[in-house]
Amino acid sequence: MVQSECRLLRGLLGFICLLAMCISASPDLCVSLRTVKDSLNVTSRRRYMKMNFPINYTIQVHYEEVFRLRNISQLLKEENPPEMSDLQELWLHASREGIKKVLRVLPERHPTRRKYLSNLEDLFRDFEGLYYQKYKKDETRELPESIQNIWDNMGENGWRSVTPKSLLDNCYRTMLCLFEECFKNENDNINYCDPNWRKGNQTT
Ligand SMILES: *[C@@H]1O[C@H](CO)[C@@H](O)[C@H](O)[C@H]1NC(C)=O
Ligand SMILES: *[C@@H]1O[C@H](CO)[C@@H](O)[C@H](O)[C@H]1NC(C)=O
Ligand SMILES: *[C@@H]1O[C@H](CO)[C@@H](O)[C@H](O)[C@H]1NC(C)=O
């Protein structure tokens, strides 16, 4: 009798350990993303993406590589709204392409490249690796039309001028919205998906 209870307990303990392992898969993703967030801090964005460039300097990106909070709220209003992962994949794509486009115009020894953006690109690559390891792409799922259209037209709609800093500003703000569960402990009462949340909060 005692022995079987013991076995039961051991089984239960094993199950709990397994459960704990499953749950901790997500914190890994958040750890990686928090590293990205730290690098996207406002001081760095200002110094490396603005002050290191000529005044009003812009680069050319594809329309779909401009991904803002407004895009998210618009897409979520669609009749057949996207899943969070659809938006996260768009965010990853837009962010990585934006960084690539800035790197492309920077000379080899430019301080923004050497001291900041190359490293940030690596952090994004690491995060993307973890992300697709955790959320394996389901190729059989039919995407909502709005999302499918964006992917289909990617790069087909011509170019837009944006400042390097605005790319990372948008990348940062949409990140807080789309990966809220990684950040919500820090500031529980803010709705990061609300385009107005920064009002009166100049530090972000
Ligand atoms: C901002 O990010 C840069 C680059 O990753 C880092 O060196 C710096 O310590 C960060 N600053 C703050 C205030 O977190
Ligand atoms: C930069 O852009 C702003 C707003 O468009 C404009 O007012 C300003 O004159 C521009 N500065 C330079 C140096 O071109
Ligand atoms: C976001 O909206 C802008 C228009 O404000 C549009 O040009 C851009 O393509 C949209 N981005 C995505 C990824 O849909």
Ligand 2 atom closest to the CA of 56, numbered from 1? 1
Query: For the chain, what is the domain count?
Result: 1
- CB burial readout 41-78, b (16+ within 10 A) else e: eeebbebbbbebbeeeeebebbebbbbbbebbeebeee
The 10s digit of each residue's pLDDT in 54-97 is: 999 999 999 999 999 999 999 999 999 999 999 999 999 999 99
Contact between residue 113 and residue 106 where contact means Cβ atoms under 8 Å apart: yes
46 part of a folded domain: yes
Output the CA 131–ligand 3 centroid distance in Å.
23
105 part of a folded domain: yes
Domain that holds residue 167: 27-182
The 10s digit of each residue's pLDDT in 146-203 is: 999 999 999 888 999 999 999 999 999 999 999 998 987 655 677 889 887 766 555 5
Q: Is 75 helix (H, G, I), strand (E, B) or coil?
A: helix
Q: Nearest-CA neighbor of 159 among 95, 88, 78, 64?
A: 64
Question: Does the CB atom of residue 56 touch ligand 2 within 6 A?
Answer: yes
Counting beta carbons within 10 angstroms of the beta carbon of residue 27, is it exposed (0 to 12), middle (13 to 18) or buried (19 or more)? exposed
198 part of a folded domain: no
Output the CA 68–ligand 2 centroid distance in Å.
23
Output the CA 188–ligand 1 centroid distance in Å.
23
Contact between residue 68 and residue 173 where contact means Cβ atoms under 8 Å apart: yes
Q: What is the CATH number of the domain that holds 130?
A: 1.20.1250.80
| CA of 203, nearest ligand number | 1
125 part of a folded domain: yes
DSSP 95: H
Name residue 50's amino acid: K
